Amino acid sequence: MANLDGRNRRFAPETLAAQAKVQEDASFLNPAHEDNYVMATALLPWEGYVAPTQNILRRATASRKNDFYAPFFYGFNQIHFLNDPRGASEYGRIALARAPDEQTRQAMAFISAAWLERSNDPQLSIGVIRALAQNVRDPGLSAHLMLRVKRQERLARLQGLVSIYQKRFGCLPNKLEELGEVRDDGRDAK
Q: Quote the pTM value.
A: 0.73
Contact 159, 122 (CB under 8 A): yes
**Coil, helix or strand for 181?**
helix
| 93 to 35, 84, 131, 188: CA distances (angstroms) | 23, 14, 11, 42
Tens digits of residue pLDDT in 52-103: 999 999 999 999 999 999 999 999 999 999 999 989 999 999 999 999 998 8
Does residue 3 register a pLDDT over 50? Answer: no
Does residue 131 register a pLDDT over 70? Answer: yes
DSSP 53-101: HHHHHHHHHHH-TT-SHHHHHHHHHHHHTT--HHHHHHHHHHHHHH-SS
More confident residue, 149 or 75: 75
Residue closest to 69 by CA, chosen among 44, 34, 115? 34
Tens digits of residue pLDDT in 8-54: 557 888 999 999 999 999 999 999 999 999 999 999 999 999 999 99
